[in-house]
Amino acid sequence: MSEPSPQIVAHRELRSSSIDRVLTGIKPTGTPHLGNYVGAIRPAILSSRLPNVESFYFLADYHALAGSADPTRVHRSTLEVAASWLALGLDPDVAHFYRQSDIPEVTELTWLLACVAPKGLLNRAHAYKAAVDQNCERGDDEDAGIEMGLYLYPVLMAADILLFNAHRVPVGKDQIQHIEIARDLAQRFNHRYGEILTLPEAQIDETTATLPGTDGRKMSKSYDNVIPLFASPKALREAIFAIVTNSQLPGEAKDPESSSLFALYQAFASADETAAMRAAYAAGIAWGEAKQRVFERIDQEIAPARARFDALMAAPEAIEAILQRGAMSLRPRAQELLKRMRDAVGLRPLTATHNSGKRSDKKAKGPRIVQYKEGAQFFFKLQDADGEVLLVGPAYAEARDAGAAIAGFLKGEMAPELQALIDAAPNRAAIEAARVALIDS
Ligand code: TRP
């Protein structure tokens, strides 16, 4: 893969001091194509390798149900999408990679958000509005055939994003409204119950190409003009040879700017290769010859991943295990956030003392670190939102040393003796969840 795009690099410099959480969902409703690869998968994998970025990539299978998808297709597509990302180099030890429906906290959060979601806001969501408009044109009842899955789609998506306090959400332009709704719901929740949720931002990468499909329009399932990512070399070649070109003859100079074949080549080639192709166009390369070069260049990039993809597709149990691990490692964090939210909205154990979780109390209850002295030694302990002790640090001779240990802990740079304690703890995931919540607050 090539260098990160300049935009990503600029962003890294901007927030170099803290962790940048990047999250995006992939709806498993079809077989990944070259447009998905160039527009989403490739930049996402590159971005996951940057320092200071924590990435969350998940299969949005709950979303796939909205619009009554065929069960066999959802199941198959989930496998294909997961295998594709892994084959293309997503490292599940570097990025969180999981399936939405393995994290039930997503649906619980959806309800909490639905309770602050103005109905009028959802009435204006593009997909719902388009369905209503269609009904009206036909003279039907405006909600005829519309299911709540479609209506609540933006709320479910807000839950995906807010559950992990994502900062940035890389999406296509068609999803911007959804991110705005997520921000809006987070703001409403925070305003009513205290500052708990992080406001996310959409990230639209103008530098990544939108790939033209075989008919010259944007490559998209809905236009039926896609080139499958892991088609056999023969099928890939055929799809590329089916790309529509004009009737210019060999020897006639051709215009790269109006050629979707050229745009496709450019999305895979280096700057030098692109320049050479531009020269070949000027020199009147035959369309057949140009197509052959495009095929060879794309195949060269895809071939190694294709072999891995085939191997993964034959081992669904390995993919399943990766997804399970991804969900397991994240659920404590999700639970930590929900604990705070439940407490804030008044869903508390009956024995809980009335906390002042009112509007005026902007700082919602979360985990905390308490420093204390026992005998001549200094300690610190980590407590969750309910005051339960998650971790007691080692003894220090000086208060200063305990303070430094806390600072190191928060930064994720534990001193060896503290690291050893954490490694041995049965509740490591809860400790990590509390640590993350603390640095967020
Ligand atoms: N709605 C997105 C799409 O159709 C998929 C999605 C679901 C998503 N949840 C998300 C994207 C959360 C970003 C963040 O492409």
Please name each of the domains of the chain with its CATH number. Answer: 6-210+315-336 (3.40.50.620), 230-313 (1.10.240.10), 365-440 (no CATH)
pLDDT at site 137: 97
Distance 48 CA to ligand 1 centre (A): 17
429 pLDDT above the threshold of 50: yes
Distance 352 CA to ligand 1 centre (A): 37
- pTM assigned to the model: 0.82
Probe target for ligand 1 pocket from 171, 180, 220, with the most ligand atoms within 8 Å of CB: 171
Distance CA(186)–CA(260), nearest Å, equals: 41
Strand partners, 55: 22
Distance 75 CA to ligand 1 centre (A): 18
Output the CA–CA distances (angstroms, integers) from residue 408 to 12, 52, 372, 402, 419, in the order listed: 22, 16, 17, 10, 10
Ligand 1 binding pocket (C-beta < 6 A) is: 23-25, 27, 60, 63, 157, 160-161, 169, 171, 175, 178
Probe target for ligand 1 pocket from 22, 26, 27, 204, with the most ligand atoms within 8 Å of CB: 27
Distance CA(394)–CA(377), nearest Å, equals: 10
pLDDT category at 364 given cuts 50, 70, 90 is low
- Nearest atom of ligand 1 to the alpha carbon of 156: 9
- Nearest atom of ligand 1 to the alpha carbon of 23: 14
pLDDT category at 350 given cuts 50, 70, 90 is very high
Q: Name which residue leads in pLDDT, 4 or 198.
A: 198
Residue nearest to atom 6 of ligand 1 (CA): 25
The token duo for 273 is 């290769």
pLDDT at site 353: 73
Distance CA(239)–CA(233), nearest Å, equals: 10
pLDDT at site 307: 97
pLDDT at site 363: 57
246 pLDDT above the threshold of 60: yes
Probe target for ligand 1 pocket from 21, 26, 59, with the most ligand atoms within 8 Å of CB: 26
* Location of structure tokens 């009737």: 247
Distance 384 CA to ligand 1 centre (A): 31
Distance CA(404)–CA(311), nearest Å, equals: 48
Give DSSP secondary structure letters for 351-412: TS-----STT--B----EEEEEEETTEEEEEEE-TTS-EEEE---BSSHHHHHHHHHHHHHT
Probe target for ligand 1 pocket from 103, 175, 179, with the most ligand atoms within 8 Å of CB: 175
pLDDT at site 366: 84
pLDDT tens digits for 143-174? 999 999 999 999 999 999 999 999 999 998 89
Give DSSP secondary structure letters for 259-282: -HHHHHHHTTS-HHHHHHHHHHHH
* Whether 440 contacts 385, CB under 8 Å: no
Distance 25 CA to ligand 1 centre (A): 4
Strand partners, 372: 379
Cβ neighbours around 14 below 10 Å, total: 9
What average pLDDT score do residues 209-214 get? 87
The token duo for 27 is 């709806």
Distance CA(142)–CA(148), nearest Å, equals: 14
Q: Lowest mean pLDDT: which of 18-22, 235-239, 343-347? A: 18-22
pLDDT category at 95 given cuts 50, 70, 90 is very high
Distance 283 CA to ligand 1 centre (A): 44
346 pLDDT above the threshold of 50: yes
Phi/psi for 60 (5° steps) reads -85, 70
Distance 270 CA to ligand 1 centre (A): 30
pLDDT tens digits for 251-263? 999 999 999 999 9
Summary mean pLDDT of the chain: 91
141 pLDDT above the threshold of 60: yes
Residue nearest to atom 11 of ligand 1 (CA): 25
Output the CA–CA distances (angstroms, integers) from residue 78 to 170, 217, 316, 384, in the order listed: 20, 26, 11, 35
* Whether 244 contacts 215, CB under 8 Å: yes
The token duo for 346 is 């008044």
* Whether 33 contacts 227, CB under 8 Å: yes
8 pLDDT above the threshold of 60: no
Residue nearest to atom 13 of ligand 1 (CA): 24
* Location of structure tokens 């906390």: 355
pLDDT tens digits for 34-87? 999 999 999 999 999 999 999 999 999 999 999 877 999 999 999 999 999 999
pLDDT at site 5: 46
How many helical (H) and strand (E) elements, i.e. helices and strands, does the chain have? Answer: 19, 8
Percent above pLDDT 90 for the chain = 76
SS3 419: helix
Distance 161 CA to ligand 1 centre (A): 9
Give DSSP secondary structure letters for 82-106: HHHHHHTT--TTTSEEEEGGG-THH
Distance 178 CA to ligand 1 centre (A): 8
Residue nearest to atom 8 of ligand 1 (CA): 25
Distance 332 CA to ligand 1 centre (A): 22
- Nearest atom of ligand 1 to the alpha carbon of 153: 1
pLDDT at site 13: 43
Distance 435 CA to ligand 1 centre (A): 27
pLDDT tens digits for 130-139? 999 999 999 9
